[in-house]
Structure 1
Amino acid sequence: ARLIDISEETGLLAVQGPKAADALQPLTGIDLKNMKYYTFGKGTFAGVDNVLISATGYTGSGGFEIYARNEDIVKIWDAIFEAGKDYGIQPIGLGARDTLRLEMGYALYGNDIDDTTSPLEAGLGWITKLNKGEFNSAEIFRKQKEEGLKRRLVGFVMDERRVPRHDYPILNEAGETIGKVTSGTHSPSLDKPIGMGYVQTAYAKPGTKVLIEFGRKQLPATVTKIPFYKPE
């Protein structure tokens, strides 16, 4: 058997939102409405064979990701927008995706998690199985769990209208540095600036008052539970 990497030959379209299944169902015989989250099907979509459709996405609003050959992506795009016009479908970019994932408190690799953070610090212990044999850094994670975490990834809401940015220092009320911002944006759903960042564990409890350093200014924020916003 051979494993062939076809990443460079494959395109991806993400159709997200609570009406995604209704909009896309006429384009395929795969039962989208009953497809469970984090599962997938493979078949004909928009007249194109061998398309993979997964009930995944990084927006928190439900939807599907569609994988097909690069040469078929434009045809599929056109079919999706024709099928979705009665549902108000709109094209969006990574900026909108980033806002949606941040409202849900989803960590983004390169911002909130990287090779200097641990999944336990990032609140991802639920997918880190420390009792299933050895793997890279397993001993480090076990030690963290035994000794307790020194820092945690938290969400916070700004008291003022300024948007926090990556690497801005997070301070306690005494003005001491206790961490740094990893992501920030203006939340359309809350109409407030929100962010995530790592802080010393003592300051990770929801309701804790902190300060975000904007150059010479230190503006107040409150640590909060994530997700910041959860669609009904």
Structure 2
Amino acid sequence: MTVTDALLSPLLAGDPARPLITFYDDATGERIELSGATFGNWVAKTANLLRDECDVEPGAPVAVLLPAHWQTAAALCAVWACGAEVVADAAGAEVALADAEHLDAAAGAGVVVGFSLDAFGQGLGERLPAGAVDYATEVRVHGDHFDPLAPVPDDGPALAGADVATVVATARSRAAELGLGPDDRVLSTAEWPVATAGGLVDGFLAVLAAGASLVQVRHPAGDQARRAGTEKVTREL
């Protein structure tokens, strides 16, 4: 069972129409809300892209050089759905997923997938390095269902050296320690650094493990207390 199977599948089997991630970017005014079903479709599309176009296989190191964003959440779950390992350093990685600010740092990977993170799905255009894959334009053609080619063992690598079983157990443990439950609506402005993993576990994986709903804010500005009320937030990270 992959990290994605363990943490996301129960949410999709329960109430897939319920909001899973609500994303704000206060620098652009963007707000997008994804149900569990819609998020699951993005995960599947991304996993198919990684496997079919980037040859990502179980155990492969995939560098994730992306900010805390709903597309990053889908990309992380897609990497794990493929049975691959999320790492922080592109040097030696088979594939690197990077936004425009981190394309130079991604150059050490075998394949670079560039993320524009554009709210309207525009690609990186001329900013995309030669030979790189433009996520926004390529992901659309891939299917909404992903079938792994082989089972992923619990001791397979998953996150910065930790195996699948450890990542899942840590996420569930942190959800309990933070007191998160399935009825919670969690507001977070935390980043998700892969190198330290703590922010990623608390800010994303523990929320999934709890069966809660995440309100993720990038470039936070203005009255977050008012937003918390509007979004019916029960917990803040």
TM-score normalised by L of structure 2: 0.22
User: Which structure's CA Rg is the greater one?
Assistant: 1
Answer 1 or 2: higher relative contact order, Cα 8 Å, separation at least 6: 2
TM-score normalised by L of structure 1: 0.22
The structure with the greater share of residues assigned to helix is 2
